[in-house]
């Protein structure tokens, strides 16, 4: 056995011919990957997975499928069941587990190969285990958190009965108390980082706060910002979606002007603008005596949708050097936003300090030349040796990065896995697929008895809101690109945005697990949509075990690459 590790990847001590188990650490979760020599796969029924908590309780993880219950597009949520994996083993070579709540201490995960016996029953084969700490950790001076992003899920239906997540119509000052449990679950770690950042800064009267905001309508966030009084400066987007016009009424009035009034009423200073198109940053900068010392950034808007509906990520740097870089960008925007694209701040990437935070750099837009920020990303994608994982809001935009992501699945030998959201549906890109699986967002609401168990459709707007790509996540030089940028050429030329390049296996593992978690969630939804009575979703039995096993060992099938990538 290897030592317990709080970061990166933990591997079982497998002898040749045994089951190998690898644990990739995510944000309060883990991706478990298994591997077996092909000669050990005869009559393989799947893998039983067990989780033992730091408190000593061991239980099998649950499978959505079993051997006896067909699942089709007509299967209602009320008819769906979870099955213990020792009785219904996972017929795939990896699985993501997100224990809730996460306990401090060591988790032990055990994988056991299960085989069909001579009478068709299940018997145990080789086992392996790993020990891993899933509690929050700091990566140097950096902490990363994700929203849960599962408002459209049976988990939300089961836990909250698809209760609304805001009043109708919403306001900027509604009482959030009735929604607090939903917000904590949906907002997950990202919400905690935002709220604790604001609370810590507000309680220290020597701290001032600078804010870049695009969407701004979360009532608790607005109340906390207003509580800073004159200690707060806000640069707020005023693009058309955030401004109301009497001659062009909207079905849903903009909340940002109301948020502005609430903050100005307590003495906060507010400037509005949109650079060439959008003031698209989502940034909090803490200063003491005028000097930045802490910064929060990422893809999550300070809004109800940004924190509780959409899939997003938040990063907090406890570093005066990093905060100083963001402070320069804010000062440039505050003093002369029209001149930002030609400023020194936007001219090049700025290196993050070595030894204080993980290796990386940051670029601020708008740029006079979008190639400043986009060319290095294209180079990294083209230089990928094993894998590219991504979650990007919209792949239909222009520019070389999105074009490269659209075509990455055509490259031989590269495991590509990604998800995007278009205006009306999701497009899920399977490994090696040259076309997306179209997933209408609300399709699982069909055949559902009212009023409960209808899976929430998330309302209008984006749900997949991430903007990240991970290159060679478990290779020698993994790199993650993330931030507020949509990675489109037009946005880099016209939007106020920030884009981070972060290197290192621990960071890459967090984003890789997030990508796989989301993609597997929507992939299962897509499979359910196409499942019929003649071709249902059901575990392969003793007579057809080869149907699920063979692709994982076929060098011409990318499931084989999947197995090798994650279990190495």
Taking only the tens place, the pLDDT of each residue in 71-85 is 988 887 778 889 999
Sorted by sequence, the CB contacts under 8 Å of residue 276 that are 6+ apart come out as: 341, 366, 493, 494, 495
Task: Clarify whether residues 88 and 117 are in a common domain.
Answer: yes
More confident residue, 427 or 85: 85
| Span of 366-370, 520-524, 542-546, 553-557 with lowest mean pLDDT | 520-524
pLDDT at 461: 61
Q: Where are the alpha helices (DSSP H) in 36-179?
A: 154-160
Task: Clarify whether residues 116 and 162 are in a common domain.
Answer: no
Q: What is the rounded CA–CA span in Å between residue 279 and residue 318?
A: 24
The DSSP-derived string for 516-564 is: HHHHHHHHHHHHHHH--SSS-B----TTSHHHHHGGGG-TTSHHHHHHH
| Span of 45-59, 361-375, 531-545 with lowest mean pLDDT | 531-545
Domain enclosing residue 73, as ranges: 9-136
Asked whether residue 560 is domain-assigned, the answer is no
Task: Clarify whether residues 109 and 146 are in a common domain.
Answer: no
pLDDT in tens, 95-135: 999 998 899 999 999 999 999 998 879 999 999 999 999 98
Q: Is residue 245's pLDDT more than 80?
A: no
Average pLDDT over residues 319-345: 97
Average pLDDT over residues 421-440: 63
Q: What are phi and psi of 65, to 5 degrees?
A: -120, 155
Cα→Cα distances 281→215, 430, 491, Å: 10, 31, 11
Asked whether residue 174 is domain-assigned, the answer is yes
Average pLDDT over residues 490-505: 96
Task: Clarify whether residues 39 and 168 are in a common domain.
Answer: no
pLDDT at 158: 81
Q: Is residue 265's pLDDT more than 80?
A: yes
| Span of 48-62, 249-263, 494-508 with lowest mean pLDDT | 249-263
Task: Clarify whether residues 208 and 124 are in a common domain.
Answer: no
Task: Clarify whether residues 115 and 155 are in a common domain.
Answer: no
Asked whether residue 148 is domain-assigned, the answer is yes
Task: Clarify whether residues 181 and 262 are in a common domain.
Answer: yes
Average pLDDT over residues 286-298: 97
Task: Clarify whether residues 124 and 146 are in a common domain.
Answer: no
Asked whether residue 18 is domain-assigned, the answer is yes
Q: What is the rounded CA–CA span in Å between residue 40 and residue 115?
A: 10
Asked whether residue 510 is domain-assigned, the answer is no
In this structure, what token pair is assigned to residue 314? 């938040």
Task: Clarify whether residues 243 and 292 are in a common domain.
Answer: yes
Asked whether residue 413 is domain-assigned, the answer is yes
In this structure, what token pair is assigned to residue 540? 């392969």
Q: Is residue 462's pLDDT more than 80?
A: no
Element spanning 87, H or E: none
Q: 165-201 b/e with 16+ CB inside 10 Å = b?
A: bbeeebebeeebeebeebbebbbbbbbebbbebbeeb
Q: For residue 547, name the pLDDT band (cuts at 50, 70, 90).
A: very high
pLDDT at 376: 97
**Token match 């650490």: residue?**
25
The pLDDT > 70 percentage for the chain reads 90
Q: Give the predicted TM-score (pTM) of the model.
A: 0.93
Q: What is the CATH number of the domain that holds 446?
A: 3.30.870.10
pLDDT at 153: 76
Q: What is the CATH number of the domain that holds 94?
A: 2.60.40.10
pLDDT in tens, 46-64: 999 999 999 999 999 999 9
Where a domain ends, among 113, 136, 159? 136
| Span of 317-326, 447-456, 507-516 with lowest mean pLDDT | 447-456
pLDDT at 432: 61
129 forms bridges with which residues in the sheet? Answer: 110
Average pLDDT over residues 164-180: 93
Asked whether residue 512 is domain-assigned, the answer is no
Mean pLDDT of the chain: 89
pLDDT at 526: 74
Q: Is residue 436's pLDDT more than 90?
A: no
pLDDT at 226: 98
Nearest CA to 149 out of 436, 466, 441 is that of: 466
pLDDT at 251: 67
CA 229 to chain centre: 33
| Span of 176-190, 198-212, 386-400 with lowest mean pLDDT | 386-400
Nearest CA to 281 out of 305, 258, 312, 302 is that of: 302
| Span of 65-74, 294-303, 493-502 with lowest mean pLDDT | 65-74
Task: Clarify whether residues 352 and 449 are in a common domain.
Answer: yes
Q: Is residue 156's pLDDT more than 60?
A: yes
pLDDT at 527: 80
The answer to whether 283 and 295 have CB atoms below 8 angstroms apart is: yes
Task: Clarify whether residues 130 and 238 are in a common domain.
Answer: no
Q: What is the rounded CA–CA span in Å between residue 190 and residue 313?
A: 6
Q: What is the rounded CA–CA span in Å between residue 152 and residue 173?
A: 25
Q: State the total domains in the chain.
A: 2
Task: Clarify whether residues 281 and 419 are in a common domain.
Answer: yes
């Amino acid at each position: 056995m290897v030592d317990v590790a709080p970061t990166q990847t933990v591997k079982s001590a497998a002898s040749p011919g045994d089951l190998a188990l690898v644990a990739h650490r995510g944000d309060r979760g883990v991706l478990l990957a298994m591997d077996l020599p092909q000669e050990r796969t005869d009559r393989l029924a799947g893998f039983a997975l067990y989780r033992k908590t730091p408190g000593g309780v061991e239980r099998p993880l649950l499978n959505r499928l079993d051997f006896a219950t067909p699942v089709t597009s007509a299967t209602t949520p009320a008819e769906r069941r979870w099955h213990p994996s020792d009785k219904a083993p996972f017929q795939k070579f990896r699985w993501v587990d997100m224990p809730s709540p996460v306990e401090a201490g060591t988790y032990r995960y055990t994988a056991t190969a299960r085989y069909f016996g001579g009478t068709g029953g299940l018997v145990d084969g080789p086992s392996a285990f790993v020990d891993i700490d899933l509690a929050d950790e700091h990566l140097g001076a950096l902490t990363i958190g994700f929203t849960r992003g599962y408002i459209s899920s049976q988990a939300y239906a089961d836990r909250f009965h698809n209760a609304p997540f805001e009043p109708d119509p919403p306001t900027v000052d509604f009482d959030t108390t009735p929604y607090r449990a939903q917000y904590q679950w949906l907002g997950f770690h990202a919400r905690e980082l935002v709220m604790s950042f604001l609370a810590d800064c507000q309680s220290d009267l020597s701290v001032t706060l600078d804010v870049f905001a695009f969407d701004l309508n979360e009532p608790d966030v607005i109340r906390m910002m207003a509580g800073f009084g004159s200690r707060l400066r806000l640069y707020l987007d005023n693009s058309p979606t955030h401004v109301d016009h009497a001659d062009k009424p909207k079905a849903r009035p903009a909340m940002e002007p109301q948020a502005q009034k609430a903050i100005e009423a307590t003495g906060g200073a507010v400037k509005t603008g949109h650079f060439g198109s959008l003031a698209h940053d989502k940034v909090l900068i803490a200063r003491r005596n005028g000097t930045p010392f802490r910064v929060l950034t990422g893809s999550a808007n300070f809004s109800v949708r940004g924190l509780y509906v959409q899939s997003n990520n938040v990063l907090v740097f406890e570093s005066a050097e990093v905060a100083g870089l963001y402070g320069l960008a804010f000062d440039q925007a505050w003093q002369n936003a029209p001149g930002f694209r030609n400023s020194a701040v936007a001219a090049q990437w700025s290196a993050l300090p070595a030894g204080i935070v993980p290796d990386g750099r940051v670029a601020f837009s708008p740029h006079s030349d979008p190639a400043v920020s986009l060319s290095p990303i294209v180079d990294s994608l083209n230089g990928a040796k094993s894998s590219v994982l991504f979650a990007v809001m919209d792949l239909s935009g222009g520019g070389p990065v999105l074009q490269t992501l659209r075509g990455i699945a055509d490259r031989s030998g590269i495991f590509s896995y990604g998800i995007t959201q278009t205006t009306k549906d999701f497009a899920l890109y399977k490994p090696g697929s040259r076309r997306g699986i179209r997933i209408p967002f609300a399709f699982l609401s069909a055949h559902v008895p009212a009023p409960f168990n209808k899976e929430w459709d998330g309302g209008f707007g984006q749900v997949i809101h991430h903007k990240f790509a991970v290159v060679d996540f478990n290779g020698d030089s993994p790199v993650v690109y993330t931030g507020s940028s949509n990675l489109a050429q037009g946005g880099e030329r016209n939007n106020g945005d920030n884009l981070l390049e972060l290197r290192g296996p621990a960071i890459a593992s967090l984003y890789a697990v997030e990508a796989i978690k989301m993609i597997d969630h929507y992939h299962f939804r897509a499979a359910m949509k196409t499942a019929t009575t003649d071709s249902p979703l059901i575990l392969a039995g003793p007579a057809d075990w080869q149907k699920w096993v063979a692709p994982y060992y076929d060098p011409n099938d990318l499931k084989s690459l999947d197995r090798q990538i994650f279990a190495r």
